[in-house]
Chain A
Amino acid sequence: MTGLLVIPPLTALVLLALWGRPRLQAAVSLAGMLALLGAAAHLLLLLAVAPGGILVWTVGGWSAPLGIVLVADRLAAALVVVSTLVGVACVLAARSPHDDPARHPAWHPLVHLLMWGVCGAFCTGDLFNLFVWFEVMLMASFTLIALGGGRERLEGAVKYVAMNLVSSVLFLCGCGILYGVCGTLNMADLARIIAAAGTPPAVQAAGGCLLAAFLLKSAAFPLFAWLPASYHTAAPATVALFSALLTKVGIYAVLRLTVTIMPLSGTLLQPILLWVALATMVVGVLGAATQMEMKRILSFHIVSQVGYMLLSIAIGGATALAAAVFYLIHHILVKSNLFLIVGLAAAHGGAEDVRRLGGLRRFPLLYAGFLISAASLAGIPPLSGFFAKLATVRAAAEAGQWVAVAVALAVGFLTLYSMVKLHREAFAKEAPAAPVPLAGAGWATAAVLVLATGTVLIGLGAGPLWRWSLAVGSELAARTPYIEAVLKATP
């Protein structure tokens, strides 16, 4: 746990000292990210042998609820591992010359600061501390998205920054109200108090504020428009990192809020979250169907996939939460890989618009990576997306939410349509102008293959991973293991 929160800022410091020496910076950045992946994997291994499966660190020797605690349960540890794996892939991909803003000397330090915020957000056990980690992550992402300048990028950046600052204001308001009512901001202590006293209107209001803030960050309907307006302007490696991490941290926060802190069942917020999830799925996929530029298509698909995860969270219960966990892990890998792939495709073909591309099947490794990721996103067996969607649909069916089942299947079909469009236009049809192989694209292709291997492995190991997800889901749904582990932890 210490490694997760110490390695990224130290790496960023070293990288700042190497300002203007790109080759050295890229090497140190990769080493730092691999070290972080090692620390994350170490945490996951520690958890596998820890009694109870939850590790708690009391920062500064102050035990909860007085001090700030860092908590790693299996969900947090797994997300940290997957996130850092994506981090490694993106740092690798940034070495390819088509990724222009990633040439900026500030890119690598900022990426490590972003990872710092992400790791902190996954591991904290305190609501206000989560706010601070969110801000660490956001400040890094603000700068990353604007890096390189240019009309479209600055325009997108202003929209992205403004919406995220509004979300931070809502987050802070929620924290304030919750502290005023409960007298604590420790997540486990809040959960204990709310479980004992129920959810009075003031707590529900605070929950509404926090939920709105987190949903805005995860780009849920109706506050999703900032995402397709800004993501496509960023560099391939940057947007691959964003698509994997930022909205997913938002979903993780929704999960912590609505499962650990205040269970939604019986409150007004549950049907709201359910309908928000369905609307997010439909609007996202319809938006993607109308687009012709690759990054814009994928940006809208982020929105639509966020809906699937929110749907599982809204349904609640061990099986549905297990589906959400499985979906999160699958989605982080597949989505960032698709962004890396279309970055490469645009560099080879010289265009973002699929109608002006073609013939990219001539690059066999890229083509293989695309086929795996696109088929997985669309939910074709035996890849990871199929099992993620199957679990979601099954959870919805078990809960008797037949509208949700129908919507999930229809949206899956439309996702397939989008992926077929990408395949036919960019890869299969003959090119208007022959694609030019890009010198130095090997790094980005290697990153694509790393992530594609991850997707295939999830598909092949779906059985064990699903059983593991079920264990995580029932631990989340039971709530008491988390609360007891945190409140009984001693320095």
Chain B
Amino acid sequence: MSVLLAVLTGLLVAAGTWLVLQRRLLHLVLGIGLLGHAANLLVFAAGGVSESPAFAPGGTPLPGAADPLPQALVLTAIVIGFGATAFLLALAWRAFRTLGDDDLPGWCGSEPPLEDDHPEPRP
């Protein structure tokens, strides 16, 4: 199970990184989402993986039970990630509507100009 989780995390990181490095805005958003899921899986795996319930009846800890704390952490992280992704999507949509294209390398209006010898503002 741990090996499966490790492989899955690796795949998610790889896919997320690849997507983040693409030119399109939507790829960036999806890539950040995948990277977030990879981080969630990593935290989840940190608590150990087991099939026995985390909380045992009667208060006696079960041998080999998973640590419930990382699961609580992951829950928090998922909610935060969901909110952040929703905001990023809304922002991306607004930016796409305003700028008229989703080709990220063309977005250099906010970048510091490389060579700017003209006091006039650029169009």
The chain A residues found within 8 Å of chain B, CB to CB, are: 128, 131-132, 135, 138-139, 142-143, 146, 149-159, 161-162, 165-166, 168-170, 172-173, 175-177, 179-180, 183, 185, 228-230, 232-233, 287, 290-292, 296, 300, 351, 353, 355-356
Q: Which of B46, B76, B87, B110 contacts A179 (CB 8 A)?
A: B46
Across the interface, which residues of A come within 8 angstroms of B38, CB to CB? 169, 173
Across the interface, which residues of B come within 8 angstroms of A149, CB to CB? 94, 98
Given A155-B109, A179-B70, is A142 in contact with B91 using a C-beta cutoff of 8 Å?
Answer: yes
Shortest beta-carbon distance from A198 to chain B in Å: 20
The answer to whether B39 touches A230 (Cβ under 8 A) is no
Measured between alpha carbons, how far is A472 from B77 in the docked complex, in Å?
A: 33
Is B47 an interface position by the 8 A CB rule?
yes
The answer to whether A230 touches B87 (Cβ under 8 A) is no
The answer to whether B35 touches A142 (Cβ under 8 A) is no
Shortest beta-carbon distance from A353 to chain B in Å: 6
Measured between alpha carbons, how far is A185 from B88 in the docked complex, in Å?
A: 29
A-B contact pairs, 8 of them (CB 8 A): A151-B99, A154-B99, A155-B95, A155-B107, A158-B88, A172-B39, A173-B43, A180-B45
Across the interface, which residues of B come within 8 angstroms of A291, CB to CB? 112
Interface of chain B, main secondary structure: helix
Measured between alpha carbons, how far is A156 from B99 in the docked complex, in Å?
A: 12
Across the interface, which residues of B come within 8 angstroms of A131, CB to CB? 77
Shortest beta-carbon distance from A262 to chain B in Å: 17
Across the interface, which residues of B come within 8 angstroms of A142, CB to CB? 84, 87, 91
Across the interface, which residues of A come within 8 angstroms of B44, CB to CB? 176
Is B116 an interface position by the 8 A CB rule?
yes
The answer to whether B46 touches A157 (Cβ under 8 A) is no
Across the interface, which residues of A come within 8 angstroms of B47, CB to CB? 179-180
The chain B residues found within 8 Å of chain A, CB to CB, are: 20, 25, 28, 32, 35-36, 38-40, 42-47, 67, 69-70, 73, 76-77, 80, 83-84, 87-88, 91-92, 94-95, 98-99, 107, 109-112, 116, 119, 121
Across the interface, which residues of A come within 8 angstroms of B116, CB to CB? 292
Given A172-B39, A287-B112, is A158 in contact with B95 using a C-beta cutoff of 8 Å?
Answer: yes
Across the interface, which residues of A come within 8 angstroms of B87, CB to CB? 139, 142-143, 161
Q: Which of B42, B76, B95, B119 contacts A157 (CB 8 A)?
A: B95
Across the interface, which residues of B come within 8 angstroms of A290, CB to CB? 112
Measured between alpha carbons, how far is A176 from B42 in the docked complex, in Å?
A: 6
The answer to whether B95 touches A165 (Cβ under 8 A) is no
The answer to whether B109 touches A152 (Cβ under 8 A) is yes
Across the interface, which residues of A come within 8 angstroms of B121, CB to CB? 351, 353
The answer to whether A175 touches B43 (Cβ under 8 A) is yes
Q: Which of B35, B73, B98 contacts A151 (CB 8 A)?
A: B98
Given A165-B84, A172-B40, is A156 in contact with B110 using a C-beta cutoff of 8 Å?
Answer: yes
The answer to whether B91 touches A158 (Cβ under 8 A) is yes
Measured between alpha carbons, how far is A353 from B87 in the docked complex, in Å?
A: 32
Given A169-B32, A173-B39, A176-B46, is A162 in contact with B88 using a C-beta cutoff of 8 Å?
Answer: yes
Shortest beta-carbon distance from B82 to chain A in Å: 11
Shortest beta-carbon distance from A52 to chain B in Å: 29
Given A165-B32, A165-B36, is A157 in contact with B91 using a C-beta cutoff of 8 Å?
Answer: yes
Shortest beta-carbon distance from B98 to chain A in Å: 5
The answer to whether A154 touches B73 (Cβ under 8 A) is no
Across the interface, which residues of A come within 8 angstroms of B39, CB to CB? 169-170, 172-173, 176
Across the interface, which residues of A come within 8 angstroms of B98, CB to CB? 149-151, 154
The answer to whether B112 touches A296 (Cβ under 8 A) is yes
The answer to whether A169 touches B36 (Cβ under 8 A) is yes
Across the interface, which residues of B come within 8 angstroms of A158, CB to CB? 25, 28, 88, 91-92, 95, 107
When C-beta atoms are compared, the residue in chain A nearest to B98 turns out to be A154
When C-beta atoms are compared, the residue in chain B nearest to A178 turns out to be B46
Across the interface, which residues of B come within 8 angstroms of A233, CB to CB? 110
The answer to whether A172 touches B43 (Cβ under 8 A) is yes
Across the interface, which residues of A come within 8 angstroms of B43, CB to CB? 172-173, 175-176, 179
The answer to whether A166 touches B35 (Cβ under 8 A) is yes
Measured between alpha carbons, how far is A18 from B12 in the docked complex, in Å?
A: 44
The answer to whether B32 touches A166 (Cβ under 8 A) is yes
Across the interface, which residues of B come within 8 angstroms of A230, CB to CB? 110
